[in-house]
Amino acid sequence: MPTLRLEQIDVVLCEDRRTIWLMGYDRDDNCFMQSFDALPMPIDEENLDHQQWRAAARADAWRAIP
């Protein structure tokens, strides 16, 4: 699979405050996602470091959203 070239990555804190979703979009507006779940401690929205989670994205973990 070729490397994705994402134009934008949105970081979403889920309601359980222990799951992070990353939503990535390429230049053709195709959507891809990956998640980090079962975090050891809940995160508050004001303490969510978006850059840190974007940097944690794994290149091989993106899944296409139809």
Q: In the predicted model, is pLDDT for residue 3 greater than 80? A: no
The half-sphere exposure of 47 on its side-chain side, counting CA atoms within 13 A, is: 6
Over residues 28-64, the pLDDT tens digits come to 999 999 999 999 999 999 999 999 999 999 999 999 9
Q: Which element (helix H / strand E) includes 53?
A: helix 50-55
Q: Please indicate whether residue 17 or residue 66 has the higher confidence score (pLDDT).
A: 17
Residue 2 has a pLDDT of: 63
pTM of the model: 0.89
31-36: strand order across its sheet = 6-13, 20-26, 31-36, 63-65
**Euclidean distance between CA atoms 19 and 46, whole angstroms:** 15
Q: Which amino acid is it at 40? A: P
